[in-house]
Structure 1
Amino acid sequence: MPAHLLRALARLSRIGAAAVAALCIVIAQLVAPAPASAAVAAPINTAPTALGIAESNLYFMTASELATAMQAFEQMGVKQIRIFLPWRAIEPNRGAYNWAIADRILDAAAAKGIGVVGAVTSTPIWASRNGFWLPNAAPDDPNTYAQFMVRLAERYGAGSAQPRIAAYEIWNEPNANIGWSPQPNVAGYTQLLKLAYTAIKAVEPTATVVGGVLGAGLSFGTWTINPVNYLTQMYAAGAQGYFDALSFHPYNFSSSFSAGAPYANTPYRQLMSLRALMNSAGDGAKKIWTTEYGVPTSAVNGATQAAWITDFATTWSALDGVGPMFIYSLVDRPNETPWGVFDRNWVAKPGVEAIRTWIAAHTPGGEVISKASG
C-alpha cells in the first residue's frame, strides 16, 4: 500500500471522533462571534528554502497541548505551518458553524507571528450520501464545500477584521480512495476545486488557492491514481486557471528523496513529471509546494528521520519551479503512526535539531504571500 494511504488510514478514527464530538457542541458555541479587533496575518514565504511544519493534530489538541506545540514551533524557528481545518467538525449541521477550535489555533499562531496554510477536507454527514461512514466522502454537491470556503475566507481572510489564514488548500490527497471516497474521481475533484477557487476569489481576490494536493504513489485499481496521471486528467477536466499553486506530497518509506532521482515512479521523478506537465500546459510560473513530507520513526530510526528531512530540504530547495516545504509532523499521538519529530511525551527526536538547523541556516528572503489587505 502506498505510504500516504498508510498515513491516511491512521487518521480515519480520529476524524470520525471529531465529527461525533462536534455534533454534541451546544448551539452557543456553533455561532461564536467573529473577533472584532483588526490585525494583519503573518505571510507565507514561498521561497523553495522556506521550511515549515504540517501538523493536522493541532485541531484535536487541548489548549495546553496547543500552547506546547506553539512553543515548539518558536524554539525551532518555524514561521509557517499547514493546519487541518475539518469541514466535517466546523459545520456539523448545514449552516451552523463551530469556529471555537479554529479560532483557538489561528489566534495562537497569530500571536507567535506564524503564517498559516489552511487545508480544508473531511465531509459533514449531511453533505454526502456516504458521509456517515466515510469521513472524506465526495460531497453530493460540491457547491456546499464552496459555500463553506466562502464562510472561512470571510472569517479569516484578508478582508476580515482579523486575517489569520494566508493560503487555502483545497482537500487532501484526492488521488487516493482514503482522500476521496469511495474512490478517486478526477472530474469530481476538479469541479470542487473550480467552484471553491471561484467562491474564495469572489470574497478575497488576493487569496492564494493551492490545488491538487496529490500524494505520491502508483495507480492501483480503484484505490489510487498516479499523481502525474491525475494531474493530466485534471487539466483535461478544465483545472487550468483554478489554482495558484499545486501541492504534492512526496512520501517514500524506503529511501531518501534524493535517492529516487535515477529511478522511474519515485516521488522525485514524479515531481519532475508534474513540473514538466505544468510547464507544457502553460502553468510554468506556478510553483509546486510540498505541504507534507516526512517519514515515521516506525519505518526508520530517529537519526534516519532527521537525515532524510535534511536530504529532502537540501534536494527540494535546489530544484526549479518549487515553493515552500512543510514537514509532517510535529508530535506523535497515542495509538497512531509516529510521524512526529517529537515523541508523544514531547521528547525531541533528532529531527527537531535538523529542522532548527535548516531554518537557522536559511534566511527568509524570497517571495511572500501577505494578507495585509484584500
Structure 2
Amino acid sequence: MTPPARLRACVLAFALAAGMAAPAFAQKGINGNELHTLSAQELGATIADYRQLGVKWVRFDFDWSVIEPTAGRFAFERYDQVIDKLAQAEIQVLGLIAYTPSWANGGRPGKYHPPQNPARFAQFAARLAGRYANKGVHAWEIWNEPNLGQFWGNAPDAAAYTALLKLTYTAIKKADPKAFVVSAGLAQPATTATSVDSLTFLTAMYRNGAQGYFDALGNHPYTSPRIPGEWMAYNWRKMSATSPSVLSIMKQYGDANKKIWITEFGAPTGGKSPWGTVISEAQQATMVERTLAEAAAVPWAGPVFWYNYRDFCPYKPDADSECFYGLTRVDGSRKPAFEKFRTSP
C-alpha cells in the first residue's frame, strides 16, 4: 500500500477494534465572511447556491470592530438579515467572533489586535450568543488564527489567548446553555518572531488551562499545492499522523473525545503566492473531492468549511493569490471545483 492507504487502513482497523461505528461523511461547510456586505439580491443568490452545493454550515464573521465601532453603539441590522436568511434556508451557522475596535485595543491602528480587557470581548460574545440563540445560532468560534502575528498584534501569546477563551466560553455558556464553543482555528506557520507553530501553541494553550473551555478544536490545515491523502500534505497529516500530532496532544490533556473542526481549508487558482500555493482549477476540483473524502473517513473530524465560495477579484496574473480561493469566479461563473463540491456527500 502507499503510505496514505496504510494510514487510512490503520485508522479503520483501530476504529473497528475499538468497536466504533463507521464514521459518517463530514458535513459540508463554507466560509461566508463577506455575507453582511452583500445586497439583498446578492445575498439571496449566494444562499441559493449554498443550497445547491449541499452546504450544511456557514462560518460567518461577527466582527466586533464592525458591530460595535463605538463603545455601546451596535450595528446589528445587516447581521440579523444574514442570519434570518440562513435560517430560512436551514443552514447552520458557526459564528466567528473576532477582532477589536480601536476603542478596545488601546487605540492601535487596525483591528487585528487582542483587546486590552478580555472581559469586554467576553461581554460582547455573550451579547451575540443571547441575541442569536432564538434564531438557532448556537455554535461559536473564538478568534481567528491567534498563533499568527497578523491576527494578534504581531505577538502571538498562547497564555493571553487562553485567558480570552476561558472568559468567553464561560460568558457564552451563561448566555446560551445550548452553545457549542470551538477554539480558534489555528494557522500552520513555523515558529518565528511573529508566529508560533500550531502544535507548540496548542500545547501552551493546554498548559495554561484551556482544557474544559472549548467543545471542539478549530484548525486550518492548508496543504496547497499538496492534496490531503498525499504523503507530503504535512499540515493535514499533523492532525493525526505525526508525533506529536494535534490528536496526540488532545489525548494527552484529556480531550481525546473532542473533534477537530476544520474551519478553513482551500487553495487559490490564480495570482501570485510567495508560498507556492497556487494550483490549477482542475487541481482545485480534485482537492475539494479528496478533502471531503479524507475528512469523512476518520472519526475525529467535524465539519469542513471550504474557503471560499467566490473569488474576491477579477483575474490578473500578478494579483494576490488571496483573491482566488473561490469555487466560483468573481463574475459568478463556476470553476470545476463547484461541481465536485456539489456532488461530494
Class of the TM-score when normalised by the shorter of the 2 chains: 0.7 to 0.9
> Structure 2: any 5+ residue segments left out of the alignment?
1-22, 271-277, 315-321
Partner of 1:210: 182
> Given residue 166 of structure 2, which amino acid in structure 1 is its aligned partner?
K
Does the residue aligned with 1:232 lie in a helix, a strand or coil?
helix
* Residues 115-154 of structure 1 aligned to structure 2 (within 5 Å): 115-131=92-108, 133-154=109-130
The 2-side partners of 1:148 and 1:66 are apart by 26
> Higher RCO, 1 or 2 (CA under 8 Å, sep at least 6)?
1
> Given residue 137 of structure 1, which amino acid in structure 2 is its aligned partner?
H
The 2-side partners of 1:211 and 1:268 are apart by 18
> Given residue 85 of structure 2, which amino acid in structure 1 is its aligned partner?
A
> Given residue 225 of structure 1, which amino acid in structure 2 is its aligned partner?
V
The 2-side partners of 1:255 and 1:213 are apart by 20
Q: Is the deviation greater in 318-327 or in 114-123?
A: 318-327
User: Judging changes above 3 Å, is the alpha-carbon distance between structure 1 residues 308 and 89 closer, same or farther for their aligned structure 2 residues?
Assistant: same
The 2-side partners of 1:167 and 1:118 are apart by 6
Instruction: Report how far residue 329 of structure 1 moved.
Output: 0.7
TM-score, normalised relative to structure 2: 0.85
* Residues 183-332 of structure 1 aligned to structure 2 (within 5 Å): 183-219=155-191, 221-259=192-230, 261=231, 266-272=234-240, 273-298=245-270, 299-332=278-311
Percent of paired sites with the same residue: 36
> Given residue 203 of structure 2, which amino acid in structure 1 is its aligned partner?
T
Q: Is the deviation greater in 327-336 or in 113-122?
A: 327-336
The 2-side partners of 1:217 and 1:208 are apart by 27
Q: Is the deviation greater in 318-327 or in 233-242?
A: 318-327
Instruction: Report how far residue 262 of structure 1 moved.
Output: 5.6
The 2-side partners of 1:235 and 1:144 are apart by 23
1:68 matched to 2:60? The reply is no
> Given residue 163 of structure 1, which amino acid in structure 2 is its aligned partner?
K
The answer to whether the 8 A contact 2:221-2:235 is kept is: yes
The answer to whether the 8 A contact 2:259-2:301 is kept is: yes
> Given residue 296 of structure 1, which amino acid in structure 2 is its aligned partner?
P
The 2-side partners of 1:228 and 1:290 are apart by 15
1:57 matched to 2:29? The reply is no
The answer to whether the 8 A contact 2:145-2:186 is kept is: yes
User: Judging changes above 3 Å, is the alpha-carbon distance between structure 1 residues 262 and 343 closer, same or farther for their aligned structure 2 residues?
Assistant: closer
> Given residue 79 of structure 2, which amino acid in structure 1 is its aligned partner?
A
> Given residue 303 of structure 1, which amino acid in structure 2 is its aligned partner?
A
Does the residue aligned with 2:324 lie in a helix, a strand or coil?
coil
1:155 matched to 2:123? The reply is no
Instruction: Report how far residue 201 of structure 1 moved.
Output: 0.8
The 1-side partners of 2:176 and 2:120 are apart by 18
Does the residue aligned with 1:56 lie in a helix, a strand or coil?
coil
Instruction: Report how far residue 124 of structure 1 moved.
Output: 0.7
Aligned residues: 305
The 2-side partners of 1:130 and 1:191 are apart by 21
The 1-side partners of 2:106 and 2:175 are apart by 29
RMSD over aligned CA atoms reads 1.6
The structure 1 segments of at least 4 consecutive aligned residues displaced by more than 3 Å after TM superposition are: none
Partner of 1:80: 57
> Structure 1: any 5+ residue segments left out of the alignment?
1-45, 363-374
User: Judging changes above 3 Å, is the alpha-carbon distance between structure 1 residues 183 and 354 closer, same or farther for their aligned structure 2 residues?
Assistant: same
